[in-house]
Amino acid sequence: MSRKRFRIVRRIFGLYLPLAAFLFFALFPFYWMLISSFKGNPELYNLQANRLWITHPTLEQFQELFARTAVLQWLWNSFFVSFLTSMISMTFGIMAGYALARLRFPGAQAFGLATFVTYLVPTTLIFIPLASVVQALGLSNSIWSLVVTYPTFLVPFCTWMLIAYFKSIPRDMEECAMIDGCGRIGAMVRIVLPMAIPGVVFSGMFSFTLSWNEFVYALTFISTTTHKTMSVAVPTELIRGDAYFWGELMAASLVGSVPVALLYSFFMDYFVSGLTAGALKG
Amino acid sequence: MSIARAERLPARPWAARFVKPEALTGYGLISPAVFLMLVLLAYPFVLAVSISLTDRVLGEPGKFVWLENFLKLLQDSLFRQTVWNSFVYTLSTVFLKMVLGIVLALLLNQEMPYRNLVRGALLLPWIVPTSLSVLTWLWMFDSLFSVVNYILLGLGLISKKIPWLGDPFWAMVSVVIVNTWRGLPFFAVSFLAGLMTIPRELYEAAETDGARAPRQFWHITLPLLQPVIAVVVLFSTIWTFADFQIVYILTHGGPINATQIFATMAYDVALVAGRIGEGSAISLFLFPALLVVIILLLRYLRRE
């Protein structure tokens, strides 16, 4: 009996309490974002009220946001750029990943190394000259500047992720297909790709999230309000001088966070397994 | 069939290696990625070096000044402070993320109800756009309405408000907290993946030999987790060193440059003040750090 009590106490102090502390730390900002966006201004700036709860929930902040700002345009820009770049990066990543996992050719190792190194290069190392490259391509201040530049960090990521997946698929299957008259590319598309779906989905979704969240390039290359993406538009367009409209800012942050959070909750199993697989292989 | 044809080619041996069908397919498949890397990564990098050797300002090409930008920066007290801040920021956040990440991974590795839901919830700070979540932290650290102070005062943990973003010391504490908050999930999940590969039998054997939990941790868990820890720490080091958005949104490098780090200073100098040559030089100071991380990682991965 006392042994059982000891185990319960140990579980509370050794697991549930510390875990609750971590959960509070991780989730409180989202709770704060949520309740701030459903409060009206009088309640939001009332220091006497219970600030951790809402007494008069209202949609005022969202109405303001959608009526006064180009938030729908920003959302569309984010979606357009993220969708296109993740598709491009996935395609290039599948091609390069397959080549590195299966084919033998001089320079393959050097290319693998280059991919790995590129994956590590921080965007802040080259954003200044990249702005001139974007200008030379005639793309400055257009969302196409992002479509062109995001694959530079997404393709290495996808390639690296997919090499591991392709390597885990047995060679026999595609060799059979090739004997049966499939070409190399045919075997890759018809046999290997379907078996690597979890890896492909994961790298595509993760690329989407990375594009949606990217900040430095979008801040540097684009200055026109209607061409901005969500992650840059909210902190730059909704803060005017020293005036912070917190209700509206939190509503916009919520609107910008929900798409990736939703995407992530639908595919959470892929996400966690993909992430752990990546960590193991990385 | 195609292989047979390749063998009949009367080419010289070294040339034949490049024109083998397998090699040709390989080059075809990697060419888009190679093109991208050359045009949008290697070329800008060369451009960064060449711009940093000029006194270019916005709208003027500038002239070649050798290493003047770098030498000037090394004597500049603001830049020295930036270097110091970057080290403080990187070392403290990476250390915190590592220690807390191990603790969190050990917790998550235990049996519990709703385990997947808990894991998913804890990953959220890492998934949501950083610029938007950092805005929330900006609002949480507001000088007048800070909810962090509201909670700490309410619990009686502090007796007067903390000037989170208004004071040089607390501003650094704030950006460190937010970076740790954002990066912790990546550490915890990677460590968790590492923990799951450790065979259970090792712990069972230790148990029968009478080793208690702390000894099991030091003699089994930590040594076997070490490769994952090393790789994650190295990745995080370079990304934190080159971090931009948390500082840019939360403090903008202030107050009085107390949180100015490489990327935010490079942005201010090159794109706000328009001194592109000097700004490029500041960015390039990230390169030695990147080089060290790459060398360590490659040596580490090769040994594994």
For chain B, say whether A279 makes contact (Cβ under 8 Å): yes
Taking every pair of Cα atoms in chain B, the longest distance, rounded to a whole number of angstroms, is 87
pLDDT value at position A104? 86
A99/B26 CB distance under 8 A: yes
A216/B280 CB distance under 8 A: no
**Range from A174-183, A247-256, B68-77, B268-277 carrying the lowest mean pLDDT:** A174-183
For chain B, say whether A51 makes contact (Cβ under 8 Å): yes
**Range from A148-157, A243-252, A264-273, B27-36 carrying the lowest mean pLDDT:** A264-273
Q: Where are the domains of chain A?
A: 1-28, 69-281
Instruction: Transcribe B41-76 into DSSP letters.
Output: IIHHHHHHHHHHTB--BTTB---B-TTHHHHHHHH-
* Whole-Å CA distances, A272 to A87, A191, A212, B98: 21, 25, 19, 19
Shortest distance, CA A121 to any CA of chain B (angstroms): 7
Q: Percent of chain A beyond pLDDT 90?
A: 50
Interface with A, mutate which of B1, B18, B29, B108 (most A CBs under 10 A): B29
Shortest distance, CA A39 to any CA of chain B (angstroms): 14
- The β-bridge partners of B57 are B60
Distance CA A177, CA A33 (A): 54
Shortest distance, CA B108 to any CA of chain A (angstroms): 8
Exposure string for B199-237, b = 16+ CB within 10 A, e = fewer: eeeeeeebeeeebeeeebeeebbeeebeebbebbbbbbb
Q: B-contacting residues of A 169-198, CB under 8 Å?
A: 184-185
Cis peptide bond N-terminal to B13, omega within 30: no
In this predicted structure, the answer to whether residue B227 has a pLDDT above a threshold of 70 is: yes
In this predicted structure, the answer to whether residue B224 has a pLDDT above a threshold of 50 is: yes
Residue of A nearest to B230 (CA): A282
CATH of the domain spanning A69-281, picked from 1.25.40.20, 1.10.3720.10, 3.20.20.70, 3.30.300.20: 1.10.3720.10
Q: Average pLDDT of chain A?
A: 88
A124/B286 CB distance under 8 A: yes
Write out pLDDT tens, residues B38-59.
988 899 999 999 999 988 888 7
Cα three-residue angle B146-A69-A208, rounded to 5 degrees = 80
- Span A157-186, mean pLDDT? 82
Q: Percent of chain B beyond pLDDT 70?
A: 94
Q: In this structure, are strands A243-244 and A239-240 parallel, antiparallel, or unpaired?
A: antiparallel
Contacts of B103 in chain A (CB under 8 A): 18
In this predicted structure, the answer to whether residue A280 has a pLDDT above a threshold of 70 is: no
In this predicted structure, the answer to whether residue A79 has a pLDDT above a threshold of 50 is: yes
What count of CB pairs under 8 Å joins A to B? 280
User: Quick check: B131 and A235 in contact, CB under 8 A?
Assistant: yes
B294/A117 CB distance under 8 A: yes
- Span B251-264, mean pLDDT? 92
Nearest-CB residue to B135 (from A118, A130, A235): A235
Q: B-contacting residues of A 197-216, CB under 8 Å?
A: 209, 212-213, 215-216
Residue with tokens 């954002």: B182
pLDDT value at position B58? 82
Shortest distance, CA A15 to any CA of chain B (angstroms): 6
Nearest-CB residue to A275 (from B45, B51, B189): B189
Backbone torsions φ then ψ of A239, nearest 5 degrees: -105, 110
Contacts of B185 in chain A (CB under 8 A): 26
- Span A173-191, mean pLDDT? 78
pLDDT value at position A274? 62
Q: Which domains does chain B have, with CATH numbers?
A: 2-52 (no CATH), 68-303 (1.10.3720.10)
Nearest-CB residue to B124 (from A27, A51, A115): A27
User: Quick check: A193 and A200 in contact, CB under 8 A?
Assistant: yes
